[in-house]
């Protein structure tokens, strides 16, 4: 997926210039990579905030228009104000032809209604909201789909069960890691714990009675 943002080139750089850019209602940024010189830019604050607040912002290629020239980039770092949380700087990496990128791809879970464990009141325990993958620069997936069909309480879904787009490879390759599990509902856990406690108490009482008879 490719989105569009507009920006203008910045001639001045440094902390003072960055503060001046923000006072103008713009967000300072930089484009780097692909064996080309870094390009300092300024982006409109409102549009940048909307884009950066999207969960897939750092996992998709953006057509960044800088003074009429389009740059294919992907966001690599978003800095925010530690108090007010608004975007104060964005780093973009150029996406060159034939390049491979390492990105965190969000995971979408589908067919929850077809998972017996969930319809019985189980809880979806998401282990990984995102999966780090090596992906083709010209085909960055917006998300991965994890199908929950048929999963019951106690079951889990692993990366091997996720159909990956062509050219997409998880960076973790030495194990079939877990994406999510279906946990028992709290009420069921409480019942199980109650049963265990009752069995323990009964065993303790029986042991005490046996001890008493031995003493007599």
d(CA 165, CA 173): 16
- Average pLDDT over every residue of 16-20: 90
* Average of per-residue pLDDT across 34-53: 93
Residue 180 near residue 126 (C-beta atoms within 8 A): yes
Q: Which two tokens stand for residue 59?
A: 């996992």
pLDDT digits (tens, 9 = 90+) for 175-202: 999 999 999 987 665 555 555 555 555 5
pLDDT band at 96 (very low <50, low <70, confident <90, very high): confident
Q: What is the pLDDT of residues 128-180, one digit of tens each?
A: 999 999 999 878 888 999 999 999 999 999 999 999 999 999 999 999 999 99
Q: pLDDT band for position 214 (50/70/90)?
A: very low
- CA–CA distance, 135 with 144 (Å, rounded to integer): 12
Taking domain 102-189, whether its CATH number is 3.40.50.1970 is answered by: no
Partners of 146 in beta bridges: 109
Cα–Cα distances in angstroms (integers) from residue 112 to residues 86, 123, 159, 166, 198, in the given order: 34, 10, 17, 25, 35
Q: How far apart are CA 213 and CA 206, in angstroms?
A: 11
Domain boundaries, the chain: 2-96, 102-189
Assign a CATH topology to domain 2-96.
Answer: Ribosomal Protein L25; Chain P (2.40.240)
The more confidently predicted of residues 99 and 170 is 170
Q: How far apart are CA 96 and CA 35, in angstroms?
A: 9
């Amino acid at each position: 997926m490719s989105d569009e943002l507009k920006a203008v080139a910045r001639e001045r750089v440094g902390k003072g210039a960055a503060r001046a850019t923000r006072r103008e209602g713009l967000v300072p940024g930089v484009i780097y990579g692909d064996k080309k010189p870094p390009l300092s830019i300024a982006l409109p604050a409102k549009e940048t905030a909307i884009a950066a607040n999207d969960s897939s912002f750092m996992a998709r290629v953006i057509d960044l228009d800088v003074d009429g020239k389009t740059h294919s980039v992907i966001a690599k770092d978003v800095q925010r104000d530690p108090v007010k949380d608004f975007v104060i700087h964005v780093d973009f990496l150029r996406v060159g032809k034939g390049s491979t990128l390492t990105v965190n791809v969000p995971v979408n879970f589908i067919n929850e209604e077809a998972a017996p464990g969930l319809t019985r009141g189980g809880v979806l325990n998401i282990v990984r909201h995102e999966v780090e993958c090596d992906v083709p620069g010209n085909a960055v997936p917006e998300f991965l789909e994890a199908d929950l069909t048929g999963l019951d309480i106690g079951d889990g879904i692993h990366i091997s069960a996720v159909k990956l787009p062509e050219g997409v490879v998880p960076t973790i390759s030495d194990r079939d890691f877990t994406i999510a599990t279906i946990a028992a509902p709290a009420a069921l856990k409480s019942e199980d714990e109650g049963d265990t406690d009752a069995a323990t108490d009964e065993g303790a009482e029986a042991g005490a009675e046996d001890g008493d008879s031995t003493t007599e």
